[in-house]
Amino acid sequence: MTNVPTFLNYIDGEWCASLAGATFDNVNPADTRDVVGRFQASTEADALAAVRAASSAFGAWKRLAPAARAKILLDAAAYLEHHADRFGEELTREEGKQKALAKDEFVRAAQTLRFYAVEAQSYGSETYPSDDAGMMVYTVREPLGVVTVISPWNFPVSIPARKIAPALICGNTVVFKPASDAPLSGLRLAEAFVEAGIPKGVLNFVTGSAGAIGSALVGAREVRAISFTGSTAAGEQIHRAASLSTRTQMELGGKNPLIVLDADDIDRAVDLTVKGGFSLAGQACTGTSRVLVARAIRAEFVERLAARATALVVGNGMTPGVDVGPLATAGQLRTVLDYIAVGMKEATLVCGGEQLKHGEYAHGYFVMPTIFSGVPRDARIAREEIFGPVIAVIDVDDYDDAIAVANDSEYGLAAALVTRDAQLMHRFANDIEAGTVKINRTTTGNLVNAPFGGLKRSSTATFRESGRNGLEFYLQTKTVYRGA
Protein backbone atom coordinates (compact mmCIF):
# COMPACT_ATOMS: atom_id res chain seq x y z
CA MET A 1 0.00 0.00 0.00
CA THR A 2 3.04 2.30 -0.06
CA ASN A 3 3.46 4.88 -2.82
CA VAL A 4 -0.09 4.51 -4.09
CA PRO A 5 -0.75 7.43 -6.47
CA THR A 6 -3.77 9.60 -5.74
CA PHE A 7 -5.83 10.86 -8.66
CA LEU A 8 -8.15 13.87 -8.62
CA ASN A 9 -11.40 15.02 -10.16
CA TYR A 10 -11.31 17.61 -12.93
CA ILE A 11 -13.95 20.30 -12.41
CA ASP A 12 -14.15 23.77 -13.97
CA GLY A 13 -10.61 23.60 -15.32
CA GLU A 14 -8.94 22.42 -12.10
CA TRP A 15 -7.73 19.07 -10.81
CA CYS A 16 -9.28 18.91 -7.35
CA ALA A 17 -10.04 16.60 -4.43
CA SER A 18 -13.56 15.70 -3.41
CA LEU A 19 -15.16 18.23 -1.11
CA ALA A 20 -15.65 15.47 1.45
CA GLY A 21 -12.00 14.41 1.31
CA ALA A 22 -12.87 10.71 0.94
CA THR A 23 -11.16 8.31 -1.47
CA PHE A 24 -11.38 4.72 -2.70
CA ASP A 25 -8.75 2.31 -4.03
CA ASN A 26 -8.74 0.44 -7.32
CA VAL A 27 -6.86 -2.89 -7.41
CA ASN A 28 -5.42 -5.12 -10.11
CA PRO A 29 -7.85 -8.02 -10.75
CA ALA A 30 -4.94 -10.29 -11.69
CA ASP A 31 -3.21 -9.56 -8.36
CA THR A 32 -5.25 -7.72 -5.77
CA ARG A 33 -2.11 -6.93 -3.76
CA ASP A 34 -1.32 -4.39 -6.49
CA VAL A 35 -3.19 -1.15 -5.79
CA VAL A 36 -3.42 0.74 -9.07
CA GLY A 37 -4.51 4.06 -7.62
CA ARG A 38 -6.54 6.03 -5.12
CA PHE A 39 -9.49 8.00 -6.48
CA GLN A 40 -11.95 10.59 -5.24
CA ALA A 41 -15.10 9.26 -3.56
CA SER A 42 -17.11 12.21 -4.79
CA THR A 43 -20.31 13.49 -3.24
CA GLU A 44 -23.44 15.00 -4.69
CA ALA A 45 -21.90 18.43 -4.08
CA ASP A 46 -18.92 17.53 -6.30
CA ALA A 47 -21.21 16.28 -9.05
CA LEU A 48 -23.38 19.39 -8.91
CA ALA A 49 -20.27 21.57 -9.08
CA ALA A 50 -19.26 19.73 -12.26
CA VAL A 51 -22.73 20.19 -13.76
CA ARG A 52 -22.73 23.91 -12.92
CA ALA A 53 -19.27 24.32 -14.46
CA ALA A 54 -20.43 22.60 -17.64
CA SER A 55 -23.53 24.79 -17.75
CA SER A 56 -21.50 27.98 -17.34
CA ALA A 57 -19.08 26.95 -20.09
CA PHE A 58 -21.76 25.98 -22.59
CA GLY A 59 -22.44 29.37 -24.16
CA ALA A 60 -18.85 30.11 -25.14
CA TRP A 61 -18.13 26.54 -26.28
CA LYS A 62 -21.28 26.51 -28.42
CA ARG A 63 -20.15 29.69 -30.18
CA LEU A 64 -16.60 28.46 -30.78
CA ALA A 65 -15.91 27.71 -34.43
CA PRO A 66 -16.29 24.01 -35.25
CA ALA A 67 -12.74 23.95 -36.63
CA ALA A 68 -11.42 25.13 -33.26
CA ARG A 69 -13.35 22.39 -31.47
CA ALA A 70 -12.03 19.88 -34.00
CA LYS A 71 -8.42 20.90 -33.33
CA ILE A 72 -8.87 20.04 -29.66
CA LEU A 73 -10.17 16.58 -30.58
CA LEU A 74 -7.25 16.04 -32.96
CA ASP A 75 -4.68 17.13 -30.38
CA ALA A 76 -6.29 14.90 -27.75
CA ALA A 77 -6.12 11.98 -30.20
CA ALA A 78 -2.41 12.59 -30.76
CA TYR A 79 -1.84 12.63 -26.99
CA LEU A 80 -3.60 9.28 -26.56
CA GLU A 81 -1.60 7.66 -29.33
CA HIS A 82 1.69 9.04 -28.02
CA HIS A 83 1.05 7.50 -24.59
CA ALA A 84 -0.79 4.36 -25.75
CA ASP A 85 1.87 1.95 -24.50
CA ARG A 86 1.95 3.36 -20.96
CA PHE A 87 -1.78 3.92 -20.73
CA GLY A 88 -2.40 0.44 -22.09
CA GLU A 89 -0.32 -1.08 -19.29
CA GLU A 90 -2.34 0.89 -16.76
CA LEU A 91 -5.56 -0.39 -18.31
CA THR A 92 -4.33 -3.98 -18.06
CA ARG A 93 -3.50 -3.45 -14.40
CA GLU A 94 -6.85 -1.93 -13.50
CA GLU A 95 -9.20 -4.01 -15.67
CA GLY A 96 -7.33 -7.19 -16.62
CA LYS A 97 -7.47 -7.40 -20.43
CA GLN A 98 -4.36 -8.43 -22.34
CA LYS A 99 -1.75 -5.72 -22.82
CA ALA A 100 -2.02 -5.66 -26.63
CA LEU A 101 -5.81 -5.29 -26.46
CA ALA A 102 -5.49 -2.53 -23.87
CA LYS A 103 -3.09 -0.54 -26.05
CA ASP A 104 -5.37 -1.07 -29.04
CA GLU A 105 -8.24 0.42 -27.06
CA PHE A 106 -6.39 3.71 -26.65
CA VAL A 107 -5.50 3.70 -30.35
CA ARG A 108 -9.16 3.06 -31.19
CA ALA A 109 -10.23 5.93 -28.92
CA ALA A 110 -7.84 8.21 -30.83
CA GLN A 111 -9.35 7.02 -34.12
CA THR A 112 -12.81 7.88 -32.77
CA LEU A 113 -11.75 11.41 -31.85
CA ARG A 114 -10.25 11.92 -35.31
CA PHE A 115 -13.36 10.55 -37.03
CA TYR A 116 -15.69 13.00 -35.29
CA ALA A 117 -13.30 15.92 -35.71
CA VAL A 118 -13.67 15.47 -39.47
CA GLU A 119 -17.20 14.04 -39.82
CA ALA A 120 -18.92 16.87 -37.96
CA GLN A 121 -17.48 19.43 -40.36
CA SER A 122 -19.82 18.22 -43.12
CA TYR A 123 -22.90 17.81 -40.97
CA GLY A 124 -25.15 20.55 -42.32
CA SER A 125 -28.69 21.86 -42.24
CA GLU A 126 -31.46 21.72 -44.84
CA THR A 127 -33.55 24.21 -46.79
CA TYR A 128 -37.17 23.72 -47.86
CA PRO A 129 -39.14 25.13 -50.79
CA SER A 130 -41.92 27.55 -49.92
CA ASP A 131 -45.01 28.77 -51.80
CA ASP A 132 -44.18 32.24 -50.50
CA ALA A 133 -41.50 33.65 -52.81
CA GLY A 134 -40.43 36.11 -50.14
CA MET A 135 -39.73 33.51 -47.49
CA MET A 136 -36.83 31.14 -46.88
CA VAL A 137 -37.33 28.06 -44.70
CA TYR A 138 -34.33 26.25 -43.30
CA THR A 139 -33.18 24.25 -40.31
CA VAL A 140 -30.45 24.98 -37.79
CA ARG A 141 -28.72 22.16 -35.90
CA GLU A 142 -27.74 23.17 -32.38
CA PRO A 143 -26.14 21.46 -29.37
CA LEU A 144 -28.35 20.45 -26.46
CA GLY A 145 -26.30 21.79 -23.53
CA VAL A 146 -24.87 19.78 -20.64
CA VAL A 147 -24.40 16.06 -21.36
CA THR A 148 -23.73 13.42 -18.71
CA VAL A 149 -21.58 10.50 -19.87
CA ILE A 150 -21.56 7.38 -17.68
CA SER A 151 -19.32 4.58 -18.93
CA PRO A 152 -18.63 0.93 -17.97
CA TRP A 153 -15.46 -0.79 -16.83
CA ASN A 154 -15.06 -3.31 -19.67
CA PHE A 155 -14.11 -0.73 -22.33
CA PRO A 156 -13.21 2.26 -20.14
CA VAL A 157 -11.62 4.33 -22.94
CA SER A 158 -13.21 3.43 -26.27
CA ILE A 159 -16.82 3.62 -25.04
CA PRO A 160 -16.57 7.06 -23.39
CA ALA A 161 -14.57 8.30 -26.39
CA ARG A 162 -17.45 7.47 -28.74
CA LYS A 163 -19.80 9.43 -26.47
CA ILE A 164 -17.61 12.41 -25.52
CA ALA A 165 -16.18 13.11 -28.98
CA PRO A 166 -19.52 13.66 -30.76
CA ALA A 167 -20.91 15.53 -27.76
CA LEU A 168 -18.02 18.00 -27.76
CA ILE A 169 -17.69 18.47 -31.51
CA CYS A 170 -21.40 19.34 -31.68
CA GLY A 171 -20.89 22.09 -29.09
CA ASN A 172 -22.17 20.42 -25.94
CA THR A 173 -20.36 20.42 -22.61
CA VAL A 174 -19.78 17.20 -20.72
CA VAL A 175 -19.69 15.74 -17.22
CA PHE A 176 -17.96 12.36 -17.41
CA LYS A 177 -18.29 9.69 -14.72
CA PRO A 178 -16.21 6.55 -15.34
CA ALA A 179 -16.92 3.20 -13.73
CA SER A 180 -15.36 2.99 -10.28
CA ASP A 181 -13.79 -0.35 -11.21
CA ALA A 182 -11.69 1.20 -14.00
CA PRO A 183 -11.41 4.95 -13.38
CA LEU A 184 -7.76 5.52 -14.34
CA SER A 185 -8.23 4.88 -18.04
CA GLY A 186 -11.15 7.31 -18.08
CA LEU A 187 -8.96 9.85 -16.32
CA ARG A 188 -6.33 9.46 -19.05
CA LEU A 189 -8.99 10.24 -21.65
CA ALA A 190 -9.97 13.39 -19.76
CA GLU A 191 -6.28 14.24 -19.37
CA ALA A 192 -5.85 14.07 -23.14
CA PHE A 193 -8.48 16.79 -23.59
CA VAL A 194 -6.91 18.89 -20.85
CA GLU A 195 -3.50 18.62 -22.51
CA ALA A 196 -5.15 19.57 -25.80
CA GLY A 197 -6.28 22.85 -24.26
CA ILE A 198 -9.99 22.34 -23.77
CA PRO A 199 -11.50 25.44 -22.09
CA LYS A 200 -12.40 25.19 -18.43
CA GLY A 201 -15.78 23.73 -17.65
CA VAL A 202 -16.27 22.17 -21.09
CA LEU A 203 -15.23 18.70 -19.93
CA ASN A 204 -15.51 17.70 -16.28
CA PHE A 205 -14.38 14.39 -14.79
CA VAL A 206 -15.82 13.02 -11.52
CA THR A 207 -15.21 9.65 -9.87
CA GLY A 208 -17.34 7.97 -7.23
CA SER A 209 -20.17 5.55 -6.68
CA ALA A 210 -23.40 5.78 -8.62
CA GLY A 211 -25.27 5.76 -5.32
CA ALA A 212 -23.47 8.89 -4.14
CA ILE A 213 -23.43 11.02 -7.27
CA GLY A 214 -25.78 9.37 -9.77
CA SER A 215 -28.88 11.34 -8.86
CA ALA A 216 -27.09 14.65 -9.36
CA LEU A 217 -25.67 13.59 -12.73
CA VAL A 218 -29.05 12.34 -13.91
CA GLY A 219 -31.52 14.65 -12.21
CA ALA A 220 -29.88 18.09 -12.21
CA ARG A 221 -32.08 20.52 -14.15
CA GLU A 222 -29.12 21.68 -16.26
CA VAL A 223 -28.54 18.20 -17.70
CA ARG A 224 -30.08 17.95 -21.17
CA ALA A 225 -28.83 14.49 -22.20
CA ILE A 226 -27.51 11.30 -20.61
CA SER A 227 -25.48 8.70 -22.48
CA PHE A 228 -25.00 5.50 -20.48
CA THR A 229 -23.50 2.09 -21.17
CA GLY A 230 -23.90 -0.65 -18.58
CA SER A 231 -26.36 -3.14 -17.18
CA THR A 232 -29.95 -3.21 -18.36
CA ALA A 233 -31.26 -2.76 -14.83
CA ALA A 234 -29.15 0.35 -14.20
CA GLY A 235 -29.93 1.82 -17.62
CA GLU A 236 -33.65 1.40 -17.21
CA GLN A 237 -33.47 3.04 -13.78
CA ILE A 238 -31.61 6.04 -15.24
CA HIS A 239 -34.08 6.28 -18.12
CA ARG A 240 -37.02 6.38 -15.71
CA ALA A 241 -35.33 8.97 -13.48
CA ALA A 242 -34.60 11.41 -16.30
CA SER A 243 -36.99 14.29 -16.90
CA LEU A 244 -39.08 14.63 -20.07
CA SER A 245 -36.73 17.36 -21.31
CA THR A 246 -33.65 15.15 -20.93
CA ARG A 247 -32.64 12.81 -23.73
CA THR A 248 -31.36 9.37 -22.85
CA GLN A 249 -29.17 7.00 -24.81
CA MET A 250 -28.83 3.61 -23.12
CA GLU A 251 -26.58 0.82 -24.42
CA LEU A 252 -27.31 -2.16 -22.20
CA GLY A 253 -27.08 -5.95 -22.00
CA GLY A 254 -27.04 -8.79 -24.48
CA LYS A 255 -27.40 -12.56 -24.76
CA ASN A 256 -25.83 -12.86 -28.16
CA PRO A 257 -26.30 -16.00 -30.30
CA LEU A 258 -24.06 -17.53 -32.92
CA ILE A 259 -25.77 -20.00 -35.28
CA VAL A 260 -24.01 -22.91 -37.00
CA LEU A 261 -25.95 -25.41 -39.09
CA ASP A 262 -23.57 -27.12 -41.51
CA ALA A 263 -20.73 -29.56 -40.82
CA ASP A 264 -18.53 -27.73 -43.32
CA ASP A 265 -18.74 -24.60 -41.13
CA ILE A 266 -17.67 -26.19 -37.82
CA ASP A 267 -14.02 -25.10 -37.82
CA ARG A 268 -14.88 -21.50 -38.66
CA ALA A 269 -17.70 -21.50 -36.10
CA VAL A 270 -15.38 -22.82 -33.39
CA ASP A 271 -12.86 -20.11 -34.13
CA LEU A 272 -15.50 -17.37 -34.03
CA THR A 273 -17.01 -18.77 -30.83
CA VAL A 274 -13.65 -18.79 -29.06
CA LYS A 275 -12.89 -15.23 -30.17
CA GLY A 276 -16.36 -13.90 -29.42
CA GLY A 277 -16.98 -15.81 -26.21
CA PHE A 278 -13.65 -16.03 -24.41
CA SER A 279 -11.77 -12.93 -25.52
CA LEU A 280 -11.83 -10.30 -22.76
CA ALA A 281 -12.86 -13.17 -20.43
CA GLY A 282 -16.35 -12.95 -21.91
CA GLN A 283 -16.80 -9.44 -20.49
CA ALA A 284 -18.25 -7.75 -23.57
CA CYS A 285 -21.86 -6.78 -24.06
CA THR A 286 -21.64 -8.17 -27.61
CA GLY A 287 -19.81 -11.34 -26.52
CA THR A 288 -20.96 -14.73 -27.82
CA SER A 289 -22.78 -16.34 -24.91
CA ARG A 290 -24.97 -18.95 -26.62
CA VAL A 291 -24.26 -21.07 -29.67
CA LEU A 292 -27.22 -22.56 -31.54
CA VAL A 293 -26.02 -25.73 -33.27
CA ALA A 294 -27.83 -28.18 -35.56
CA ARG A 295 -28.40 -31.42 -33.65
CA ALA A 296 -26.68 -33.49 -36.31
CA ILE A 297 -23.35 -31.72 -35.84
CA ARG A 298 -23.56 -30.73 -32.18
CA ALA A 299 -21.32 -33.54 -30.83
CA GLU A 300 -18.54 -32.79 -33.29
CA PHE A 301 -18.83 -29.04 -32.74
CA VAL A 302 -18.68 -29.37 -28.94
CA GLU A 303 -15.69 -31.71 -29.13
CA ARG A 304 -13.69 -29.28 -31.26
CA LEU A 305 -14.80 -26.26 -29.22
CA ALA A 306 -13.78 -27.95 -25.96
CA ALA A 307 -10.37 -28.80 -27.38
CA ARG A 308 -9.80 -25.14 -28.27
CA ALA A 309 -11.15 -23.85 -24.96
CA THR A 310 -8.99 -26.13 -22.80
CA ALA A 311 -5.90 -25.05 -24.75
CA LEU A 312 -6.44 -21.37 -23.96
CA VAL A 313 -3.91 -19.83 -21.58
CA VAL A 314 -5.46 -18.09 -18.58
CA GLY A 315 -3.37 -15.55 -16.71
CA ASN A 316 -2.23 -12.00 -16.08
CA GLY A 317 -2.82 -9.81 -19.11
CA MET A 318 0.70 -8.40 -18.76
CA THR A 319 2.16 -11.85 -19.52
CA PRO A 320 2.89 -12.61 -23.20
CA GLY A 321 0.91 -15.50 -24.61
CA VAL A 322 -2.08 -15.16 -22.29
CA ASP A 323 -5.41 -15.69 -24.07
CA VAL A 324 -7.88 -15.07 -21.21
CA GLY A 325 -7.33 -12.58 -18.42
CA PRO A 326 -9.09 -12.29 -15.06
CA LEU A 327 -12.62 -11.17 -14.40
CA ALA A 328 -12.57 -7.48 -13.59
CA THR A 329 -13.95 -7.48 -10.05
CA ALA A 330 -14.65 -9.67 -7.06
CA GLY A 331 -18.36 -9.10 -7.64
CA GLN A 332 -18.12 -10.25 -11.24
CA LEU A 333 -16.22 -13.35 -10.12
CA ARG A 334 -19.01 -14.23 -7.69
CA THR A 335 -21.66 -13.67 -10.36
CA VAL A 336 -19.92 -15.93 -12.87
CA LEU A 337 -19.30 -18.69 -10.31
CA ASP A 338 -22.95 -18.52 -9.25
CA TYR A 339 -24.09 -18.94 -12.85
CA ILE A 340 -21.72 -21.86 -13.34
CA ALA A 341 -23.28 -23.52 -10.29
CA VAL A 342 -26.72 -22.93 -11.80
CA GLY A 343 -25.55 -24.32 -15.13
CA MET A 344 -24.35 -27.53 -13.52
CA LYS A 345 -27.93 -28.18 -12.44
CA GLU A 346 -29.43 -27.24 -15.80
CA ALA A 347 -27.10 -28.78 -18.39
CA THR A 348 -23.95 -30.83 -19.00
CA LEU A 349 -20.63 -29.23 -18.10
CA VAL A 350 -18.21 -30.00 -20.94
CA CYS A 351 -15.10 -28.21 -19.68
CA GLY A 352 -13.96 -25.47 -17.33
CA GLY A 353 -16.28 -24.33 -14.59
CA GLU A 354 -13.61 -23.82 -11.96
CA GLN A 355 -11.96 -20.89 -10.30
CA LEU A 356 -8.17 -20.91 -10.44
CA LYS A 357 -6.84 -20.22 -6.94
CA HIS A 358 -3.29 -21.50 -6.60
CA GLY A 359 0.18 -20.28 -7.49
CA GLU A 360 0.11 -17.31 -9.86
CA TYR A 361 -3.69 -17.27 -9.61
CA ALA A 362 -3.90 -17.02 -5.83
CA HIS A 363 -4.59 -13.28 -5.66
CA GLY A 364 -6.68 -12.82 -8.81
CA TYR A 365 -10.16 -13.37 -10.19
CA PHE A 366 -9.52 -16.20 -12.65
CA VAL A 367 -12.05 -18.67 -14.06
CA MET A 368 -11.40 -21.37 -16.65
CA PRO A 369 -13.24 -20.98 -19.98
CA THR A 370 -16.49 -22.87 -19.49
CA ILE A 371 -18.75 -24.71 -21.93
CA PHE A 372 -22.17 -26.21 -21.23
CA SER A 373 -23.88 -28.53 -23.71
CA GLY A 374 -27.41 -29.84 -23.91
CA VAL A 375 -28.64 -26.54 -22.52
CA PRO A 376 -32.47 -26.31 -22.37
CA ARG A 377 -33.90 -23.30 -24.14
CA ASP A 378 -35.52 -22.01 -20.97
CA ALA A 379 -32.42 -22.47 -18.80
CA ARG A 380 -31.15 -19.45 -16.93
CA ILE A 381 -27.71 -19.79 -18.51
CA ALA A 382 -29.44 -19.70 -21.91
CA ARG A 383 -31.45 -16.55 -21.18
CA GLU A 384 -29.63 -14.37 -18.64
CA GLU A 385 -26.54 -12.28 -19.27
CA ILE A 386 -23.58 -13.81 -17.40
CA PHE A 387 -20.78 -11.50 -18.58
CA GLY A 388 -18.01 -14.04 -18.20
CA PRO A 389 -16.23 -16.85 -20.08
CA VAL A 390 -19.28 -19.14 -20.14
CA ILE A 391 -20.87 -20.48 -23.34
CA ALA A 392 -24.19 -22.33 -23.59
CA VAL A 393 -24.54 -24.72 -26.55
CA ILE A 394 -28.20 -25.20 -27.53
CA ASP A 395 -29.52 -27.78 -29.99
CA VAL A 396 -31.70 -26.60 -32.90
CA ASP A 397 -33.45 -28.50 -35.69
CA ASP A 398 -32.84 -26.21 -38.65
CA TYR A 399 -32.55 -22.55 -39.70
CA ASP A 400 -36.12 -21.63 -38.81
CA ASP A 401 -35.79 -23.24 -35.41
CA ALA A 402 -32.49 -21.43 -34.82
CA ILE A 403 -34.05 -18.06 -35.65
CA ALA A 404 -36.96 -18.77 -33.31
CA VAL A 405 -34.60 -19.62 -30.45
CA ALA A 406 -32.30 -16.68 -31.19
CA ASN A 407 -35.19 -14.21 -31.20
CA ASP A 408 -36.80 -15.68 -28.08
CA SER A 409 -34.89 -13.29 -25.84
CA GLU A 410 -35.47 -10.01 -24.08
CA TYR A 411 -32.19 -8.85 -25.61
CA GLY A 412 -31.34 -7.94 -29.19
CA LEU A 413 -27.84 -6.54 -29.24
CA ALA A 414 -25.72 -8.72 -31.56
CA ALA A 415 -26.13 -12.01 -33.42
CA ALA A 416 -24.03 -14.02 -35.86
CA LEU A 417 -24.53 -16.72 -38.47
CA VAL A 418 -21.84 -18.97 -39.90
CA THR A 419 -22.70 -20.10 -43.42
CA ARG A 420 -21.56 -20.29 -47.03
CA ASP A 421 -25.12 -20.03 -48.33
CA ALA A 422 -25.66 -16.55 -49.84
CA GLN A 423 -29.45 -16.88 -49.64
CA LEU A 424 -29.25 -17.74 -45.95
CA MET A 425 -27.08 -14.70 -45.35
CA HIS A 426 -29.79 -12.39 -46.72
CA ARG A 427 -32.55 -14.22 -44.86
CA PHE A 428 -30.64 -13.97 -41.60
CA ALA A 429 -30.08 -10.23 -41.93
CA ASN A 430 -33.85 -9.80 -42.31
CA ASP A 431 -35.03 -12.41 -39.80
CA ILE A 432 -32.80 -11.82 -36.79
CA GLU A 433 -33.92 -9.40 -34.08
CA ALA A 434 -30.61 -7.71 -33.32
CA GLY A 435 -29.21 -4.26 -33.86
CA THR A 436 -25.80 -5.62 -34.85
CA VAL A 437 -25.85 -8.48 -37.34
CA LYS A 438 -22.70 -10.45 -38.16
CA ILE A 439 -22.26 -13.06 -40.90
CA ASN A 440 -19.10 -15.17 -40.72
CA ARG A 441 -17.72 -12.77 -38.12
CA THR A 442 -17.66 -12.68 -34.33
CA THR A 443 -20.55 -11.09 -32.47
CA THR A 444 -18.01 -8.72 -30.91
CA GLY A 445 -16.54 -5.61 -32.48
CA ASN A 446 -17.87 -2.64 -34.45
CA LEU A 447 -16.43 0.01 -36.73
CA VAL A 448 -15.84 3.58 -35.61
CA ASN A 449 -17.69 4.87 -38.69
CA ALA A 450 -20.73 2.54 -38.52
CA PRO A 451 -23.75 2.91 -36.20
CA PHE A 452 -23.93 0.68 -33.15
CA GLY A 453 -26.86 -0.30 -30.93
CA GLY A 454 -29.35 -2.99 -30.08
CA LEU A 455 -33.03 -3.81 -30.12
CA LYS A 456 -35.50 -4.67 -27.35
CA ARG A 457 -34.00 -4.31 -23.84
CA SER A 458 -30.47 -3.97 -25.20
CA SER A 459 -30.87 -0.28 -26.04
CA THR A 460 -33.28 2.61 -25.81
CA ALA A 461 -35.20 2.90 -29.07
CA THR A 462 -33.88 6.36 -29.80
CA PHE A 463 -30.41 7.19 -31.13
CA ARG A 464 -27.52 4.98 -32.26
CA GLU A 465 -23.93 5.43 -31.16
CA SER A 466 -20.88 5.59 -33.45
CA GLY A 467 -20.59 6.68 -37.03
CA ARG A 468 -22.35 9.68 -38.50
CA ASN A 469 -25.51 8.58 -36.69
CA GLY A 470 -23.69 9.14 -33.42
CA LEU A 471 -23.95 12.90 -33.91
CA GLU A 472 -27.75 12.89 -33.95
CA PHE A 473 -28.15 12.31 -30.23
CA TYR A 474 -26.21 15.47 -29.39
CA LEU A 475 -28.04 17.87 -31.71
CA GLN A 476 -31.48 19.46 -31.75
CA THR A 477 -33.22 21.03 -34.74
CA LYS A 478 -34.72 24.48 -35.12
CA THR A 479 -36.85 25.35 -38.13
CA VAL A 480 -36.47 28.96 -39.28
CA TYR A 481 -39.00 30.86 -41.43
CA ARG A 482 -37.31 34.02 -42.69
CA GLY A 483 -39.26 36.62 -44.60
CA ALA A 484 -37.82 39.17 -47.00
Cα 211 from Cα 466, distance rounded (Å): 28
Task: Return the CA Rg of the chain.
Answer: 23
Name the pTM for this structure: 0.95
Q: Which domains does the chain have, with CATH numbers?
A: 9-252+459-483 (3.40.605.10), 256-446 (3.40.309.10)
Cα 98 from Cα 397, distance rounded (Å): 38
CB neighbours of residue 111 within 10 Å: 18
Q: Are 150 and 227 in contact (CB under 8 A)?
A: yes
Cα 369 from Cα 310, distance rounded (Å): 7
- Estimate the share of the chain in helix, then strand, then coil, as percent rounded to the nearest 5: 40, 25, 35
Question: What is the model's pLDDT at position 1?
Answer: 52
Q: Would you state the torsion angle of the CA atoms of residues 79, 81, 84, 87, taken in this order, to the nearest 10 degrees?
A: 30
Question: What is the model's pLDDT at position 242?
Answer: 87
Question: What is the model's pLDDT at position 171?
Answer: 97
Clarify whether 251 is annotated catalytic.
yes
**Could you tell me which residues are beta bridge partners of residue 366?**
356
Question: What is the model's pLDDT at position 2?
Answer: 63
Cα 431 from Cα 425, distance rounded (Å): 10
Question: Among residues 380, 305, 400, 308, which one has the least CA distance to residue 339?
Answer: 380
**What's 467's DSSP letter?**
T
**What's 56's DSSP letter?**
H
For every one of its 484 residues, what pLDDT tens digit does the chain have, with 9 covering 90 and above?
Answer: 568 999 999 999 999 999 999 999 999 999 999 999 999 999 999 999 999 999 999 999 999 999 999 999 999 999 999 999 999 999 999 999 999 999 999 999 999 999 999 998 887 789 999 989 899 999 999 999 999 999 999 999 999 999 999 999 999 999 999 999 999 999 999 999 999 999 999 999 999 999 999 999 999 999 999 999 999 999 999 988 888 889 999 999 999 999 999 999 999 999 999 999 999 999 999 999 999 999 999 999 999 999 999 999 999 999 999 999 999 999 999 999 999 999 999 999 999 999 999 999 999 999 999 999 999 999 999 999 999 999 999 999 999 999 999 999 999 999 999 999 999 999 999 999 999 999 999 999 999 999 999 999 999 888 999 999 999 999 999 999 999 8
Question: What is the model's pLDDT at position 323?
Answer: 97
Q: Are 110 and 83 in contact (CB under 8 A)?
A: no
- Residue 483's SS3 state is strand
User: Which amino acid, 475?
Assistant: L
Q: Check 81, 94, 95, 251 and give the catalytic one.
A: 251
Q: What residues contact residue 380 under an 8 Å CB cut-off, 6+ apart?
A: 339, 342, 343, 346
Strands of 153-277, DSSP E? 173-177, 203-205, 223-229, 247-251, 256-260
Cα 480 from Cα 372, distance rounded (Å): 60
Q: How far apart, in Å, are the Cα atoms of 198 and each of 30, 162, 204, 450?
A: 35, 17, 10, 27
